[in-house]
Structure 1
Amino acid sequence: MNTIIDRILKIIELKKISKNKFYIETGLSNGFLDKVKDIGASKIEQILNTYSDINPNWLVTGEGAMFTNQNKEIEKSDVTDNITEEVRLFDTNQNAEIFTNTHGNKFYIYPDQTIRIEVLKIPFPAYASYIESCFDEIKLKEDFSTISFKVDHIGRGYYLGFESIGDSMWNKGGYDTPSGADILGREVGRHLWKDGFHKTTYGFIIITKTGIFHKDIADLTDDGMIVLTSRNPEFKPFLYPIEDVKQIFHVIKRSY
């Protein structure tokens, strides 16, 4: 395996997936492997983010073990059962293949290659119930319904759905969000908060001790306050202590 393309093809072979499934899982464009002789850093990152069991050094240089924390006997075996990132099933009722990631989010892949994610739906007024049971998976499933969104690829993160209330993020713009909209959010790891928050297309969901906000995060001050802003000019910016924030989700889709 002299090239990185050869090593990627080896991954596909050992994981017993098709090229098309590889493109879906990684988010790379169809036919990518047949069009290039080399691959850039951003594409390598997409692959490693999707297949966390792959040794980065092996993928880039061909040196070392193919899999992290695995010996050569495992490399030579059928590795499908060793994939920790997702569980694969087939739902005959929906005629779809199901991928469940490590956070329990289900992705349904249909014969036409449409992908939908199924998530719990948390209405803003139900924040107290959510906070009370946010680390109890069974209780969450008992208390909240699910909602699905069409997505472009299978994601590794933790996703939740929300039902927006209020017009603070609605200013009649193409990326604004009206009251009653359904929102899909991906959790931003707490370890990333210290780096600040970039401008996003649809804003953030901020789950706090006192409620759930859908806002843009304009800044993180030196004294530990986040500056929350709205897209509706009738709503003024305000400060909120980050120590009272439970979770932050980057809004990646919304529908209305």
Structure 2
Amino acid sequence: MEFKDRLKHLLERDGVTAYRIWKDTAITKGTIANYIEGKTNPNKSNISILAAYFKVNEEWLSNGEGSINRTDKVHEEEPFIVTKSGVKYYEMSNGKFRMRVPFIPVKAYAKYVDEFRDAEFMGDEYEEFDFIVDKIGHGRYFAFEIKGDSMDNDTKRSLSDGDIVLARELCKEHWRSRLHTDNYPNWIIVLDNTILCKQIVDQDIENCKITCHSLNSSPEYADFELNLDNVRQLCNIVQRVSSSF
């Protein structure tokens, strides 16, 4: 059996799709498709991630040697730690962590806006999304699905329709200080009636205003100002999972 055959066996055994793996592990659908078709073989990191995901022996998955069953203790059943904000971290065999956060899909934007506006947000009512991270963070994190093409300029910096982003909430007490837009150019901005994904390219601290910018150069996406008094939540985007194949 080649790697593609072992992967197909696991997909069939567990009834899992490439979309499900992408959503749970951050390995893109296109990457999984290439593995299944035998176009590419996974690197060591993705072998470790997939072995942990399917709860199989890494050596067997990598080259077919040894037993399919894991001989080491699997750390994925219970969270390694749950932070005060409710973020779950699962320890992985490669030293990284699977981070599980509330997922806000486009179809739930209106609900999220209403709940956040009314200060009744209940993260446990939403689906969850997993990201692979190097270390544990203790902030308040969410996963948002990107809608539209305002942040798509056909480059690697794009945030395209259907992409999933990991966003860390910035507490309101920090809004009147200089925002770290150099380190975190892309932001999720929750308003009273919608959720935006934009870059913040200018900040008027005295008047509490920010200038929002889209990567798409189309005239309909011209820069505009927002008064932070009208903003309900600010989150800087720290990671992206592409929806493209």
Q: Residues 129 and 143 of structure 2 are in contact (CA less than 8 Å); yes or no, is this contact kept in structure 1? A: yes
Q: Residues 95 and 110 of structure 1 are in contact (CA less than 8 Å); yes or no, is this contact kept in structure 2? A: no
Structure 1 vs Structure 2 CA RMSD: 2.1
Question: Which of residues 191, 195, 205 is equivalent to 1:208?
Answer: 191
Q: Distance in 2 between matches of 1:93 and 1:224?
A: 46
Question: Which of residues 224, 235, 246 is equivalent to 2:232?
Answer: 246
Q: Distance in 2 between matches of 1:121 and 1:165?
A: 14
Cα shift at 1:174: 1.9
Give the TM-score taking structure 1 as reference length.
Answer: 0.59
2:210 is aligned to 226
The one-letter amino acid paired with 2:240 is R
Q: Residues 162 and 183 of structure 1 are in contact (CA less than 8 Å); yes or no, is this contact kept in structure 2? A: yes
Q: Distance in 2 between matches of 1:173 and 1:193?
A: 30
Give the TM-score taking structure 2 as reference length.
Answer: 0.61
Cα shift at 1:96: 5.8
Q: Aligned ranges for residues 72-151 of structure 1 at < 5 Å?
A: 94-95=76-77, 97-134=79-116, 135-136=119-120, 139-142=122-125, 144-151=126-133
The one-letter amino acid paired with 2:188 is I
Cα pair distance change 1:182/1:171, threshold 3 Å: same
Q: Residues 87 and 141 of structure 2 are in contact (CA less than 8 Å); yes or no, is this contact kept in structure 1? A: yes
State the structure with bigger RCO (CA 8 A, min sep 6), 1 or 2. Answer: 2
Cα shift at 1:243: 0.6
The one-letter amino acid paired with 1:127 is Y
Cα shift at 1:111: 2.6
Structure 1 residue 173 corresponds to structure 2 residue 159: no
The one-letter amino acid paired with 2:137 is G
Q: Residues 124 and 211 of structure 1 are in contact (CA less than 8 Å); yes or no, is this contact kept in structure 2? A: no
Deviations 1:79-106 (A, max 9, x none): xxxxxxxxxxxx9683565211111100
Cα shift at 1:201: 5.0
Q: Distance in 2 between matches of 1:108 and 1:244?
A: 37
Unaligned segments of structure 2, at least 5 residues: 1-72
Q: What secondary structure is seen at the aligned counterpart in 1 of 2:101?
A: strand
